[in-house]
Structure 1
């Protein structure tokens, strides 16, 4: 009789071992792919998970593994910012108004979990912050005068090979010689530098249109004449070029794309893969791949709308005071929770734990 009970104990022991192995697999391989809001909830599961989540190595891995657009920081003039989540149960920040910063700020740019904000007092200092961890850093005063509405872009690309998450802040400012010059802040050096590059021409940059994609900073220009309407600034060579495009820029399938309204539909266009290497004023036309998005979540059209974001196989448009997200894979659209005011500043946000250096 005793011998008959022994296999039962052995099986129970093996089942317990399987359970522990599965728990370890989830902890070591799955948690880093969750958004920051979900990870904060996971930290109360047990002491081991809480300890691992607090480790710098896990924070680094999560900032590299999680890249999904989680929502949008919105801000109207003179008002505090607020956050509209793509999925409120999954993505969020503890203080969307950014009151943890030492002064009221205006949001200027974002990149892979980091926000660039500008203070409203004194010389209007720039701040880099992570709204999840509420870490922040005040940058030194720039050398050049960037103006009241700076054309500034935050460029941050997390890498598994680089433990320290270094970033750059690029500002295109009007030159006394005409055109634009560029001042760059590097977190690796902790200082500003004015580039030798000078962008000549009569085109005016649209300050809030800047974005960073694959080591290149792009701005829309107010000129739609022959020769190109998007200015590109390569961060490696520090050279500028003009390319064809219209509307907000984003990344789709690893390639630069833009989105704009065409009649009653939204057109998402993929730029030529070689557009970043074209010489200034090149007459080579950009190749386009078009998608037609003809309806919103209520079956109507986006006739009165505006494209705010394109990327990650999604297009976000504003129709009235509502935001609608269209998934180009499932061809479905839905309304996001929350309302936006007229003509706000809107920047995309990734819900991760990236530290500030």
Structure 2
């Protein structure tokens, strides 16, 4: 946390007069509430009082001794950055949030998240610093999660709780391996974050060289497990024995592209004959703003893919032969213009070999503001 300015010191004195009896904490903690509300004394006091009520209502002071029935969302504190701030890694892309919700475990899973938040606060206090660095790895975060409305609502609720109750504890957040579908999630999340928090978030796609260079600029390699580009010693590349509560299962980071059958009910299948195309047409009505999203995979061989508007008059997604037999392809379009949009799966270049296509295509009404969506700034989105 940066040193307080003269204006902040003056406000801090007034703030302590207002809340010192209910919150007898050091100046640094009081300042975090002021900064979270742009030095507005009344708003900062309201925020702090709501926080104290929330802690009491949810028994947060006792959450450290609460024993979760299971490790819903594995995470690790794997060291410190170059300014001695603790570093936490959260493999969000591997967290099966949907299964927890469908199993009726939303409440204990939410308390598990609260426990993670308190672990971050505890680690910060032990090191004598005031902030932490968080790496969120979205590798593996797929359509199955983002297509479930309750999953999105749950993730946004967690974000709201964090923003309302843990101001200024983030020094930096690195979102790595963000798929294209992350843009939709971030468009919904952005209005819930204040400008100070947003300024600390850096988002990277799956290009390892891009995010690894930035992370190693701020965190020494000997603090980071080898799987994320460091040299931290451990039983394996993930330092599996060092994770919270219990070691990681051996297959936790096994790539899921080859196991999509477990979600079989969500896929449709069609054969793309040799020398032919398969087209899916969608009509967008005037006045609507929609998200057209797609996910697909082929078995054994590549396929050509494009999206065109009208009668092939323009191509929002230009034609390309994609290695969908090696990696699941996904993406989305935000659509304001009414008319016909056609997804084209092309196999005309193959003389004798048909292609087995597994796909999910969905049109949903856009739920974020245009401004928030259009201001998304990925360092790279070359998935």
Smaller-chain TM-score bracket: under 0.3
Q: If each structure's helix is expressed as a fraction of its own residues, which one has the higher value?
A: 2
More strand by share: 1
* TM-score, scaled relative to structure 2: 0.25
